[in-house]
Amino acid sequence: MAGSQTDTKTARGLSLLVMLLMALHVLFGVTGLMAALIAHLRLGSTTGTRYHSQLLWLIVTFWVAVAGYIVTFVIWQKWGPFWPVLIVFAWVGYRLLVHYYHWKKHQPMTRLL
């Protein structure tokens, strides 16, 4: 019983770490990559906890954001507007806020997108 509580505590801390690193990607782009790497490598250790679904949520957020940044880079190169990047930032911010809400309430994520 105590081992599972420790595992849940570790998974909760891991979920928070990944969320914070992903939030810092706006200032330091490399932290988003670090967050995704940590989430992918440690996902198996959270199996059986409610934070497993939260890490999946953050992994999906990362990869959809990468696709969004690629599309906005192409738009920027062809037509010059930079504002589509702000849309991707806002979407990532929304996803992080939803994650934080579930993290704070100790709830699993019930969807990925």
pLDDT of residue 2: 41
Contacts of 3 (CB under 8 A, 6+ apart): none
What tokens appear for 7 in the block? 């595992």
The residue type of 55 is L
Question: Quick one: pLDDT band at residue 1, thresholds 50, 70, 90?
Answer: very low
pTM of the complete model beyond 0.75 = yes
What tokens appear for 49 in the block? 């906890």
What tokens appear for 20 in the block? 């914070």
Three-class SS of the chain = CHHHHHHHHHHHHHHHHHHHHHHHHHCCCHHHHHHHHHHHHHHHHHCCCCHHHHHHHHHHHHHHHHHHHHHHHHHHHHHCCCHHHHHHHHHHHHHHHHHHHHHHCCCCCCCCC
pLDDT of residue 32: 96
- Is residue 22's pLDDT more than 70? yes
Mean pLDDT of 49-61: 97
